[in-house]
Structure 1
């Protein structure tokens, strides 16, 4: 190959790499991409709003992309609502704020309309969804997953927005209690006190190796338990707003007990990180003398196991949920930040927080929609929740770094493609799947508000 032609291809390759690399994290670039994010998201905000109809009796918020166009999703609607309130604070009128309440409350009320005395609520509800009774003809509510424990948090967020007015929820508060009780009574491991997923179906972090293709009822997920801890706190808050102080005290105690169990079983003093745990252990049982002869050996009677679970040392982003939920002690948080957040060979990537460390053999960045890929790609809700956890413990420099990375990532996506995507490659921020995804991506506005020193909306 002639030298001139070879040089041309080298320059072409280098130019391509420059185009695909994330812009430098400078003050000018952060400001530029923050403005792009604000301009586009303010314009798209009403794409979340959906009117009542069919199986959805109330107005509600939808994720807003073509794949989730007319459906109510559990934790999606909650985090979308947190972003919506930031939009309204930044760029809305008092009339806009009042109008939004019907859509916000409708997310909670639609879900509760599908609740029964057993507490089971579906993870998502489509406009043409069958009735609850028809749904339960095809699934066992005691052996399947349900709405993630974010419903009380969503309700508490709205109640707080309404300055503590929870009367809109009073008639359905029984069903919210039944929902939380179902988790606490029927999806909790007695020996450890931890919550577990029934199956690996629709857990929100779809192919998290701590749960994905694991035996049923075996995953004491740190993600699930951190959410449940905050859910119990939200129930206490709502109960107090309804003047149900004695009930609130019960939820306070349950929350404190669960926090203690998470600290006991999920904290790894070796790695200094919070992990999910394996509950799939054979029971410790008394020997049966039936059929045994004198002198026969019964295995393990001399020293049966004295532990109730095994830590799953998979470096999954959800260990940071301990900081978001306020479960980690200050010294534990310091170790998590020092050893895990700052480690660029593991979680810390140019585009944000990897959903799974590349040091794990399961690391996989290929596009996947069923399940969604949580084995390495960057998700904006992950960036946001880790950001919040950092702020909870006073790590403002690290929170600033993560917020600025997120702003540049999403601003550049708008700049190049005119839309956002569902998840991204960690190194260069290239979008992987689902152009037009809105949802919790809009939480970048909450991060921008904090960066700019303006009032900031946060989840309950």
Structure 2
């Protein structure tokens, strides 16, 4: 596909890059390296403390989030200064890993914020960061990045593999998609879904590539084989021919068959149906889906009555009974024995979901639809910045920013710049995943 650049206003470009620079934090407390928060500090409050947890108010400026920094690095590693912060973030996560290899999903300078494991995204972050810094591979080798990301992958395989041989999602919170219908409200470590397992395929491929670059051919071979075995298992177990989508499973003792284990609901006619979510598209992002399956899924992705909105990809289709675009959702948190507000992934448009869909469209030869999605994403952020002076983490169909109420959300919003350039990332062998 030829590269076609989409115009980004200078105001938006400057806001994203300067916002990312203002999100870089100096070493402090347990963090011995520069690191990257998802947003600059909210100006109205005292910026002297790095211990505050103000997530409920939408202020994420005092913490290091696994998935935010990993995906933002796709764009930010182009800039040497920001690539250093991405690499430093990786080392902060690895330095504070548990003795059993677990890398936790949110870390703060003076304490671990959450005990749940991160998504399998550390090796992907490593590859992105080292491409952007001087002597990146040598520095990664000196910091023992490879054995530490291997230890994390082995922890996930050992501690979170479910009864179907797929990885269990620790919780909707830990997935990063806080209210996603396939996991929210269900017991922790009970769902084997397309998101966690797709990210594990990408992580195993990234470990294989990092090992190859470091001359560790045996490690590379083992992890490449694991990646393809897991991809095959996703295709075998999570694809549902009747619904033409990828589903999530919950193992049930005594179930008469796999269909009884699909995470679903009874529709208005009393028929058991799989729940629908944007995360079912993620096997397309990783190139796992067979072409005919990808084509079937794109029918739903590109349908204006379902996922395809004027502002991008709805995270739940608009014709679904569970679709809504509220700014926040109340979800029960068993750690605290209470309901708490979380980000809404049950209908709003997120730049991250737009980016993954954009890359999936590119991968399967849907170039014009990919460009149109890039145009819609850039327009969404341009209009938000012009109208409000800030950017939000999610939006409704009318392009109204939903959350947070204060500050400006940077994080993976920077991927709008990646999309605007129309670039296909450099292929590493056949691993078009970095």
**Structure 2 length as normaliser, TM-score?**
0.82
Does residue 50 (structure 1) correspond to residue 42 (structure 2)? The answer is: no
* Alignment match of 2:68 (pick from 76, 79, 86): 76
What SS does structure 1 have at the residue aligned with 2:150?
A: helix
1:407 Cα deviation after fit: 1.0
Instruction: Give distance in 1, aligned partners of 2:311 and 2:73.
Output: 24
Report the CA distance shift for 1:68/1:377 in structure 2 as closer, same or farther (over 3 A): same
Matches within 5 A, 1:49-448: 49-65=24-40, 66=42, 67-86=59-78, 88=79, 97=80, 99-129=81-111, 145-161=116-132, 165-170=136-141, 171-190=144-163, 192-279=164-251, 281-282=252-253, 305=257, 309-310=261-262, 312=264, 313-337=274-298, 339-368=299-328, 370-426=341-397, 428-434=398-404, 435=406, 436-448=408-420
What SS does structure 2 have at the residue aligned with 1:68?
A: coil
1:41 Cα deviation after fit: 2.5
Instruction: Give distance in 2, aligned partners of 1:163 and 1:243.
Output: 19
What SS does structure 1 have at the residue aligned with 2:297?
A: helix
Q: If you compute each CA radius of gyration, which structure gives the higher value, 1 or 2?
A: 1
Poorly superposed stretches of 4+, deviation over 6 Å: 453-459
Report the CA distance shift for 1:164/1:319 in structure 2 as closer, same or farther (over 3 A): farther
1:283 Cα deviation after fit: 5.1
What SS does structure 1 have at the residue aligned with 2:342?
A: coil
Instruction: Give distance in 2, aligned partners of 1:77 and 1:345.
Output: 33
What SS does structure 1 have at the residue aligned with 2:111?
A: coil
Instruction: Give distance in 2, aligned partners of 1:40 and 1:423.
Output: 17
Matching residue of 1:294: none
Residues 190-235 of structure 1 show CA distances to partners (whole Å, capped at 9, x for unaligned) of 4x22111233333200011111111232211111111111000001
1:70 Cα deviation after fit: 2.5
Q: Is the 8 A contact 1:116 1:175 kept in 2?
A: no
Q: Is the 8 A contact 1:145 1:197 kept in 2?
A: no
Q: Is the 8 A contact 2:202 2:433 kept in 1?
A: no
Q: Is the 8 A contact 2:117 2:170 kept in 1?
A: no
Instruction: Give distance in 2, aligned partners of 1:305 and 1:412.
Output: 49
Q: Is the 8 A contact 1:322 1:328 kept in 2?
A: yes
1:305 Cα deviation after fit: 4.4
1:306 Cα deviation after fit: 7.0
Q: Show structure 2 runs of 5+ residues with no match.
A: 43-58, 265-273, 330-340
Report the CA distance shift for 1:162/1:345 in structure 2 as closer, same or farther (over 3 A): same
Q: Is the 8 A contact 1:449 1:456 kept in 2?
A: no
Count of aligned residue pairs for this structure pair: 385
1:459 Cα deviation after fit: 6.3
Residues 328-364 of structure 1 show CA distances to partners (whole Å, capped at 9, x for unaligned) of 1112112211x21221111111111001112322222
Residues 260-290 of structure 1 show CA distances to partners (whole Å, capped at 9, x for unaligned) of 11001111112222222222x0158xxxxxx
Residues 12-68 of structure 1 show CA distances to partners (whole Å, capped at 9, x for unaligned) of xxxxxxxxxxxxxxx9xx74x544422433443412311111121111111114311
Instruction: Give distance in 2, aligned partners of 1:410 and 1:305.
Output: 46
Q: Show structure 1 runs of 5+ residues with no match.
A: 1-26, 89-96, 285-303
Matching residue of 1:94: none
**Structure 1 length as normaliser, TM-score?**
0.78
1:308 Cα deviation after fit: 8.7
Q: Is the 8 A contact 2:93 2:103 kept in 1?
A: yes
The structure richer in helix per residue is 1
Report the CA distance shift for 1:185/1:315 in structure 2 as closer, same or farther (over 3 A): same
Report the CA distance shift for 1:398/1:381 in structure 2 as closer, same or farther (over 3 A): same
Report the CA distance shift for 1:270/1:164 in structure 2 as closer, same or farther (over 3 A): farther
Matching residue of 2:270: none
Q: Is the 8 A contact 1:195 1:225 kept in 2?
A: yes
